A and B are shown apart, each in its own frame.
Chain A
Amino acid sequence: MIDFELSPRIKATKNMIHMFAEQALRPIARYYDENEHEKPWDLFKMVHKFMGGGMAGAFGASGKEEKAEKEGEPKEKKPRETNLAGAVTIEEIFWGDAGIALSFPGPGLGGAAVQASGTPEQKEKFLARFSGEEPVWGAMAITEPEAGSDTANIKTTAVLDGEEWVLNGEKIFVTSGKSALEYSKGFVVVWATVDRKAGRAGIKPFVVEHGTPGMQITKIEDKLGIRCSDTVSISFMDCRIPKDNILGSPEVVDKTKTEGFKKVMATFDATRPLVAAMAIGVGRAALDFIKETLKEKGVEIRYGINPNRMTVLEREIMQMEADLKAARLLTWRAVWMLDNGLRNDLQASMAKAKAGMAVTRITQKAVELMGPLGYSREYLLEKWMRDSKINDIFEGTGQIQLLITARRVLGFTREQLK
């Protein structure tokens, strides 16, 4: 039965998280934007304490969740709604502040990769730490100076030498890399090729622990937005890691046909709608701000009238509102499919494409419509415009999402539609 009503459990969580976002994140949002590379440690500790794996649940890769299953606690009989809960939670937190939310402790994308394709032993070994006393971060390193969305071009190498893999290369744009490797006892999942001639088939994920010799953070980026979040470059020089730290099989075969590859791709199917939810949270913040400002000034938005009678302001706001809602519904559909075990790669990309572009536009329009209030750093609108842009870039740019969507709609392979 078609239903858009959140379950009482998700609703309660949503309300709680909203209060937290409003009271704990909003007041410090500007500070951590203007003081890039500083971190709200007390907040992180509190988040870790009260939210367990933190964003973990949201990323579908909570160490705690794993543990609970192991101890044989009775599983809920109700249909799964983990991913939906994640999307709803993320929207609320990101409504509070995107930069701070993005730097919350937890397994992150690295943990999600372990969760998706690790063996039970690997999951125990790498994920248990997220339920410990201290906040811990996980990170993922894919991008290289010459390989962004074009992952087949990855040049970082992994060579097996006895009982160890030896990594060499340079990674950039690693979200929370410093938090994972220097601020906590975390790890980074590094994508490297075991056979450059094999192209994509040779690219494998490896877990590299904090403090591993041969791995070094070489740069912390200064960014347009999400400044509370650290984005780093990492260099690997004869960096040796245990043989068992490879996720999935080391065999070089056509990955598209292996279970391992499918599992990794499934990670994206899970994370893309969540990035869409991040975007939606920021977009909603901007829209809420405008609507509240107009309400204070006594400006009414006349929803029911015909477009030919609307003011430009009304038309814009309605379009922003509809766009935001459309993005949210596409996102909810993508996570609902995942929760119900349905293939959602198309819908996940659709949601990410729509949300990234819609919210980029919404926040830019919001700045425009509020005139000098929009441009002033006294308010957060200009910050939201800067913050939101990342959602159209990371986890696959808007253009990559369109490419994936088009391939699926047209039924074309990667070779047929480049």
Chain B
Amino acid sequence: MVSFELSDEQKMIQETCSSFAADHMYPAMREADESGEIPEEIISRGWELGLVGGCIPEEYEGFGEGLNALNMVIALEELAWGDLSMAIHLLSPTVLAFSVLDQGTEEQKKNLLPRYCGEEFKPASSALVEPYYDFCPSAIRTVADRDGEEFVINGAKCLAPLAKESDHVLVFAATNPGMGFAGVDAFIVPVGTKGMEIGEREKNMGLKALATYPINFKDCRVPLAARLGGEEGCDFLRLLSRSRLALAALAVGMCRHALEHSRDYARERVAFGEPIGSRQAIAFMIAEMAIEVDATRLLVWEAAWRCDKGMDFAKEAALAKNYAADVAMMVGDRSVQIMGGHGYIRDNPVELWFRNARGFATFEGMVMV
């Protein structure tokens, strides 16, 4: 029966994450963007929210009941309201941990999951995006060829969050090039493996506080057991779709903050003797922003609900993610436009959101629900 009401647990997640975002993340957002550094204290406090360990069952030393996409998109919206870079940094272990939890072999689960259930933040990286203008997850160029008891990985990756700081990178590579999504597998590669070279930290337009890296693979050999899911491999489209849900949810949170900021500014800023929000040109922009933020959230919720119900959700996740990327640009642009010259100045947060917003069309992987 159709309902839009959050469960008590979801309300609690929402409130906890919202307070953390408002009290700790947002106040540090500008400084982090300028310096490129996220204060460790914020990450360690954020880790106490227990979002990763809270999805891992007790048998793997966690304290949760397994993956729950709806709970996670609700958390992600709140965190991205605080700051996008920090949210992705804090949840960087999700791609590896949740992929293993969802599709790993028993051995992979036992070896890896307990690492992300401790009291200390434990980074983990993932490498999906590749540095080509026509990059597409269905046509990944990085390949993993089987050679006896090993896979040999060759190719180039970029936008791998916290690669240098992590012990492991989940690397997506084609085992059957030309087979589209079905031909892609994921490999758990320890940082430092021979043939894997992590480059200098990237300089991106947005997400400046998040450390991301390019990675080159040249005849990088990993054992067969490094393949996610072992001999069977993994359902890559499912993992990709889970990460698309996460990215779309992050876009909703960031856009909501940009909308709220624009709303408050339009109420207070006076021009020609009245608040600029009293003019339809500004008011209509804000109304459309509000409608689209809500629309995107509902698309994300519906796709996440399908995911949790065990229904096919790849199409819904893709539609939600693309929609979110478009809305992020619309909202980001307007939040700058509504502030006029002030929007262009780095004293104000809107230009930062605008830069971050552009990333959603490009990002894939990086976080997961």
A interface residues (Cβ-Cβ under 8 A, vs B): 1-7, 78-79, 81, 84, 302-309, 318-319, 321-322, 325-327, 329-330, 332-333, 336-337, 340, 347, 350, 353-354, 399, 402-403, 405-407, 409-412, 416-418
Is the beta-carbon distance between B286 and A2 smaller than 8 angstroms?
Answer: no
Q: How many residues of B contact A (CB 8 A)?
A: 57
- Assembled-state Cα–Cα distance A319/B319 (Å): 8
B349 contacts the other chain (CB 8 A)? no
- Assembled-state Cα–Cα distance A323/B342 (Å): 32
Query: Which residue in B1, B263, B275, B302 is a CB contact (below 8 Å) of A79?
Result: B1
Assuming the contacts A304-B318, A405-B291, A410-B263, asked whether A1 and B5 have C-beta atoms less than 8 A apart, the reply is: yes
- Assembled-state Cα–Cα distance A418/B134 (Å): 47
- Assembled-state Cα–Cα distance A333/B296 (Å): 13
Contact with A along B181-210 (1 / 0, CB 8 A): 100000000000000000000000000000
Segment with Cβ contacts to A, from B159-167, B222-230, B277-285, B351-359: B277-285
Residue of B nearest to A8 (CB): B1
**What residues on A are CB-neighbors of B283 within 8 Å?**
402-403, 406-407, 410, 412, 417
Residue of B nearest to A6 (CB): B2
12 contacts between A and B (CB under 8 A): A2-B70, A3-B2, A3-B3, A4-B2, A4-B306, A302-B138, A322-B319, A326-B299, A329-B302, A330-B291, A330-B294, A353-B291
Q: Which residues 274-317 in B have Cβ within 8 Å of A in the complex?
A: 274-275, 277-278, 280, 283-284, 286-288, 290-292, 294-296, 298-299, 301-302, 305-306, 309, 314-315
**Highest count of chain A CB atoms <10 Å: which of B267, B277, B287:** B287
User: Can you name 20 extra interface pairs (CB under 8 A) apart from A4-B305, A326-B292?
Assistant: A2-B6, A2-B70, A4-B302, A78-B1, A303-B315, A304-B137, A304-B181, A304-B241, A304-B314, A305-B138, A322-B299, A322-B319, A403-B280, A403-B283, A403-B287, A406-B290, A410-B267, A416-B278, A417-B277, A417-B280
Query: Which residue in B70, B274, B295, B318 is a CB contact (below 8 Å) of A326?
Result: B295
Contact with A along B1-16 (1 / 0, CB 8 A): 1111111001000000
Is the beta-carbon distance between A412 and B3 smaller than 8 angstroms?
Answer: no
**What residues on B are CB-neighbors of A410 within 8 Å?**
263, 266-267, 277, 283, 286
B237 contacts the other chain (CB 8 A)? yes
**Highest count of chain A CB atoms <10 Å: which of B2, B3, B263, B278:** B2
Is the beta-carbon distance between A318 and B299 smaller than 8 angstroms?
Answer: no
Is the beta-carbon distance between A406 and B319 smaller than 8 angstroms?
Answer: no
Is the beta-carbon distance between B1 and A81 smaller than 8 angstroms?
Answer: yes
- Assembled-state Cα–Cα distance A304/B320 (Å): 11
B217 contacts the other chain (CB 8 A)? no
- Assembled-state Cα–Cα distance A332/B2 (Å): 8
Is the beta-carbon distance between B2 and A7 smaller than 8 angstroms?
Answer: yes
Q: List the 6 shortest-distance A-B pairs measured between CB atoms, nearest first.
A: A326-B295, A406-B283, A329-B298, A405-B287, A406-B287, A402-B287
Query: Which residue in B3, B241, B288, B299 is a CB contact (below 8 Å) of A1?
Result: B3
- Assembled-state Cα–Cα distance A7/B274 (Å): 49
- Assembled-state Cα–Cα distance A90/B186 (Å): 46
Is the beta-carbon distance between A405 and B290 smaller than 8 angstroms?
Answer: yes
Q: How far is the CB of A303 from chain B (nearest CB, A)?
A: 4
**Highest count of chain A CB atoms <10 Å: which of B3, B6, B138, B315:** B3
Residue of B nearest to A330 (CB): B295
**What residues on A are CB-neighbors of B121 within 8 Å?**
none
- Assembled-state Cα–Cα distance A6/B302 (Å): 13
- Assembled-state Cα–Cα distance A409/B5 (Å): 21
**What residues on A are CB-neighbors of B278 within 8 Å?**
412, 416-418
Is the beta-carbon distance between B137 and A303 smaller than 8 angstroms?
Answer: no
Is the beta-carbon distance between A318 and B319 smaller than 8 angstroms?
Answer: yes
Assuming the contacts A329-B295, A353-B291, A410-B286, asked whether A2 and B301 have C-beta atoms less than 8 A apart, the reply is: yes
**What residues on A are CB-neighbors of B105 within 8 Å?**
none
Q: How far is the CB of A13 from chain B (nearest CB, A)?
A: 14
Is the beta-carbon distance between B322 and A309 smaller than 8 angstroms?
Answer: no
**What residues on A are CB-neighbors of B296 within 8 Å?**
326
Is the beta-carbon distance between B1 and A5 smaller than 8 angstroms?
Answer: yes
Query: Which residue in A2, A325, A406, A412 is a CB contact (below 8 Å) of B284?
Result: A406
Assuming the contacts A325-B319, A411-B267, asked whether A406 and B286 have C-beta atoms less than 8 A apart, the reply is: yes
- Assembled-state Cα–Cα distance A306/B137 (Å): 7
B361 contacts the other chain (CB 8 A)? yes
**What residues on A are CB-neighbors of B272 within 8 Å?**
none
B22 contacts the other chain (CB 8 A)? no
B240 contacts the other chain (CB 8 A)? yes
Is the beta-carbon distance between B305 and A3 smaller than 8 angstroms?
Answer: yes
Q: How far is the CB of B143 from chain A (nearest CB, A)?
A: 19
Q: How far is the CB of B358 from chain A (nearest CB, A)?
A: 13
Q: How far is the CB of A248 from chain B (nearest CB, A)?
A: 30
- Assembled-state Cα–Cα distance A353/B284 (Å): 11
Contact with A along B115-140 (1 / 0, CB 8 A): 00000000000000000011111110
Is the beta-carbon distance between B298 and A330 smaller than 8 angstroms?
Answer: yes
Is the beta-carbon distance between A303 and B318 smaller than 8 angstroms?
Answer: yes
- Assembled-state Cα–Cα distance A327/B295 (Å): 7
- Assembled-state Cα–Cα distance A405/B361 (Å): 28
Residue of A nearest to B306 (CB): A4
**Highest count of chain B CB atoms <10 Å: which of A5, A7, A319, A399:** A5
B323 contacts the other chain (CB 8 A)? yes
**What residues on B are CB-neighbors of A416 within 8 Å?**
274-275, 278
Is the beta-carbon distance between A336 and B2 smaller than 8 angstroms?
Answer: yes
Assuming the contacts A303-B315, A322-B323, A325-B319, asked whether A333 and B298 have C-beta atoms less than 8 A apart, the reply is: yes
**What residues on B are CB-neighbors of A406 within 8 Å?**
277, 280, 283-284, 286-287, 290
Is the beta-carbon distance between A409 and B287 smaller than 8 angstroms?
Answer: yes
**What residues on B are CB-neighbors of A304 within 8 Å?**
137-138, 181, 237, 240-241, 314-315, 318
Q: Which residues 169-184 in B have Cβ within 8 Å of A in the complex?
A: 181
- Assembled-state Cα–Cα distance A367/B288 (Å): 25
Q: How far is the CB of B205 from chain A (nearest CB, A)?
A: 16
**What residues on A are CB-neighbors of B326 within 8 Å?**
319
